[in-house]
């Protein structure tokens, strides 16, 4: 049986950050187990930007954020095994952890580890979880599934879309579907406010004129073979549909963004307790489960709003696991849980003049008002960049555009690309138009220029990830 000091299950943002910090804390005998064919986890399909302001002090796309960590893992020489599924977990009488794995090369095998870090992430709640009545034809997808089809496979799951749920994934997909050529009819939210970031309401819905229907829900899906439309109704304060408010909305696709659940099937095999509220394992302040030497971090522990917090929390888990190996215990006051402060959610009529500055990780909450002369008054900023940001956002907003182009010659058929700098918001459709029909052949490296000076904006379109002919679709 193989043995090592720390096994990490999951090679997404949580697992990679944990591996790096454990290594830097002096434990070098580590193995990362990843079931997909590449590291990076869900970030690989999150081709939009907005990641990394806290961790790297710049705005990155998901693949860019992931590749920074992958590079560190490779530079440190930390071993990892992809396309490897963990099928069972247990402990032996000496307290070591037994990890049963399966892959093509080795078949079934076991690793014995002194410490174990659970970093399996989370999964989406499907339509069934909200039990929407109606037909079960094609065209109903979890938002993340649609994101995978579009961003990795390069295929559109639909042309006319209604999105259920205004969490960040739903909002991000509203913009994505629009950019790639679908008509998003509306985003329907059962609560009286959106759980998504206000910035995403602005950049994903308002920029494209997509209506957000608060206090509404889909009460029926029509279309036996393929979705033909949905019935949308207002809900009362107890979230029950109000009779008489029904409206039929034609569409061929319904995307569900109705929450994420930590993926703890393996955790249960260890006999660990699950917290009903978070859906993650019960842990102490230092992220250790009731089983000594087992730690959890990232979305398997609780669902985070931003990946930077996942990385920070997972670095704590890595350090603490290293301390456990070194000293047999985690010191008092070690780092643990990282959660968002209250985030700037969107409620109509509330804080309409508030903006979160994205110029630096301070993330100042700005109040910005444009007077009749078009002059913008800003307060709440901690540095002059805030004034610049708010003025631009209110007078001539600029955006980084992230999108896909067709990729040929490999297993993956879509290449994530982005503008290398912001462009005027009203140029977005021109940029997309110029990219229509563009195709690129593998291999491609991050930063390769695909088109110079797109749509006369002065911005270049650059590749957002590395892809070779061998890169697999997973």
Partner 1 sequence: MYDVAVIGGGVVGCTVARFLSKYELKICLLERGTDICEGTSKANSGIIHGGYDAAGGSLKAKLNVRGSRMMEELSLKLSFAYKRNGSLVICRSGQDAGMLQTLYERGVTNGVSGLRIIDKDEIRSMEPNINAAVEKALYVPTGAIADPFMMTVAMAENAAVNGVEFMLRSEVIDIERDDTEYVITTGSGEIRARYVINAAGVYADRIHSMVSRTPVSIRAVKGEYCLFDKEAGGLVSHTLFQLPSEKGKGILVTPTVHGNLMAGPTAITVDDKEGVDTTAAGLKEVLDTAAMSVIGMPSGKVITSFAGLRAKEAGGDFIIAFAADSDNFMDIAGIDSPGLSAAPAIGEYVAELLGRRMDLKEKSGFVEEREAIPSIADASDAERQALIESDPAFANVICRCELVTEAEILEAIRRPVGARTVDAVKRRVRAGMGRCQGGFCSPKVVDILARELGVKPTEILKAGEGSEILKGRNKERPCDTE
**Per the structure block, which two tokens stand in for 262?**
């930590």
Nearer to partner 1, 360 or 432 (CB): 432
- 379 alpha-carbon distance from chain centroid: 31
Strand partners, 416: 404
Closest CB 230 distance from partner 1, rounded Å: 12
Nearer to partner 1, 83 or 275 (CB): 83
In eight-state DSSP terms, residue 467 is B
Q: How far apart are CA 251 and CA 223, in angstroms?
A: 10
Closest CB 265 distance from partner 1, rounded Å: 8
Sign of CA dihedral 330, 333, 335, 341: positive
With beta carbons less than 8 A apart as the criterion, state whether 428 and 403 touch.
no
List Cβ neighbours of 112 (8 Å cut-off, separation of 6 or more): 1, 2, 3, 4, 92, 96, 97, 98, 99
Closest CB 173 distance from partner 1, rounded Å: 13
The helix or strand, by DSSP H or E, that contains position 103, with its residue range, turns out to be strand 97-103
- 327 alpha-carbon distance from chain centroid: 35
Give the CA count within 13 Å in the CB-facing half-sphere of 144.
17
Where does residue 236 rank: exposed (0-12), middle (13-18), buried (19+ CB within 10 A)?
Answer: exposed
Sign of CA dihedral 52, 56, 58, 64: negative
Nearer to partner 1, 44 or 404 (CB): 404
Nearer to partner 1, 96 or 220 (CB): 220
**Per the structure block, which two tokens stand in for 95?**
């307290």
Q: What is the DSSP secondary-structure string of 78-133?
A: --EESS-EEEEEEE-TTS-EEEEEEETTTEEEEEEEEEEEE---EEE--HHHHT--
Closest CB 451 distance from partner 1, rounded Å: 14
Q: How far apart are CA 46 and CA 49, in angstroms?
A: 8
Provide the angle, in degrees to the nearest 10, between the axes of the packed helices 307-327 and 13-24: 40
Nearer to partner 1, 243 or 374 (CB): 243
Closest CB 107 distance from partner 1, rounded Å: 4
**Per the structure block, which two tokens stand in for 61?**
């796309």
As a whole number of Å, the end-to-end CA separation of the chain is 29
Q: How far apart are CA 207 and CA 189, in angstroms?
A: 19
Nearer to partner 1, 181 or 447 (CB): 181
Sign of CA dihedral 308, 309, 312, 318: negative
Closest CB 109 distance from partner 1, rounded Å: 9
For residue 434, the SS3 value is helix
Nearer to partner 1, 222 or 398 (CB): 222
Nearer to partner 1, 381 or 471 (CB): 471
Nearest by Cα to 400 from 461, 465, 466, 449 = 461
Closest CB 25 distance from partner 1, rounded Å: 31
Closest CB 224 distance from partner 1, rounded Å: 6
Closest CB 307 distance from partner 1, rounded Å: 19
Closest CB 263 distance from partner 1, rounded Å: 8
Closest CB 182 distance from partner 1, rounded Å: 7
Nearer to partner 1, 55 or 404 (CB): 404
């Amino acid at each position: 049986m193989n043995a090592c000091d720390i096994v990490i299950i999951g090679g997404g943002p949580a697992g990679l950050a944990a591996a790096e910090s454990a290594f830097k804390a002096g434990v070098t005998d580590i193995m990362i187990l990843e079931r997909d064919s590449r590291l990076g986890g869900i970030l690989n399909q999150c081709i939009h930007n907005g990641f990394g302001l806290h961790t790297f002090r710049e705005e990155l796309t998901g693949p860019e954020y992931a590749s920074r960590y992958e590079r560190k893992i490779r530079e440190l020489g930390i071993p990892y095994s992809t396309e490897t599924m963990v099928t069972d977990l247990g402990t032996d009488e000496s307290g070591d952890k037994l990890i049963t794995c399966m892959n093509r090369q080795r078949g079934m095998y076991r690793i014995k580890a002194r410490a174990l870090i659970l970093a399996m992430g989370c999964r989406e709640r499907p339509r069934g979880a909200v039990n929407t009545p109606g037909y079960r034809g094609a065209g109903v997808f979890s938002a993340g599934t649609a994101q995978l089809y579009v961003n990795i496979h390069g295929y559109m799951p639909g042309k006319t879309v209604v999105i259920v749920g205004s969490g960040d994934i739903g909002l991000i997909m509203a913009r994505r579907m629009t950019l790639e050529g679908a008509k998003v009819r509306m985003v329907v939210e059962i609560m009286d406010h959106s759980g998504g970031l206000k910035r995403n309401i602005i950049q994903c819905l308002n920029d494209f004129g997509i209506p957000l229907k608060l206090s509404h829900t889909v009460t029926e899906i029509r279309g036996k073979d393929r979705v033909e439309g949905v019935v949308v109704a207002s809900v009362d304060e107890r979230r029950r549909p109000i009779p008489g408010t029904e409206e039929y909305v034609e569409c061929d696709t319904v995307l569900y963004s109705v929450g994420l659940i930590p993926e703890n099937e393996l955790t249960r095999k260890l006999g660990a307790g699950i917290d009903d509220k978070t859906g993650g394992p019960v842990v102490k302040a230092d992220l250790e489960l009731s089983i000594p030497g087992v730690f959890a971090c990232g979305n398997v522990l609780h669902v985070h709003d931003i990946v930077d917090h996942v990385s920070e929390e997972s670095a704590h888990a890595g350090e603490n696991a290293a301390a456990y190996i070194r000293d047999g215990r985690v010191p008092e006051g070690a780092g643990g849980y990282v959660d968002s402060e209250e985030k700037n959610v969107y409620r109509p009529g509330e804080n309409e003049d508030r903006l979160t500055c994205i110029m630096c990780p301070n993330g100042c909450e700005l109040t910005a008002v444009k007077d009749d002369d078009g002059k913008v008054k800003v307060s709440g900023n901690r540095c002059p960049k805030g004034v610049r940001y708010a003025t631009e956002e209110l007078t001539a907003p600029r955006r980084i555009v992230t999108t896909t182009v067709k990729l040929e010659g490999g297993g993956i058929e879509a290449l994530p690309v982005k503008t290398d700098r912001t462009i005027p918001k009203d140029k977005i459709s021109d940029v997309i138009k110029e990219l229509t029909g563009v195709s690129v052949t593998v291999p491609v490296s991050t930063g390769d220029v695909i088109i110079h000076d797109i749509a006369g904006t002065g911005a270049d379109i650059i590749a957002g990830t590395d892809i070779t002919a061998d890169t697999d679709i997973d």
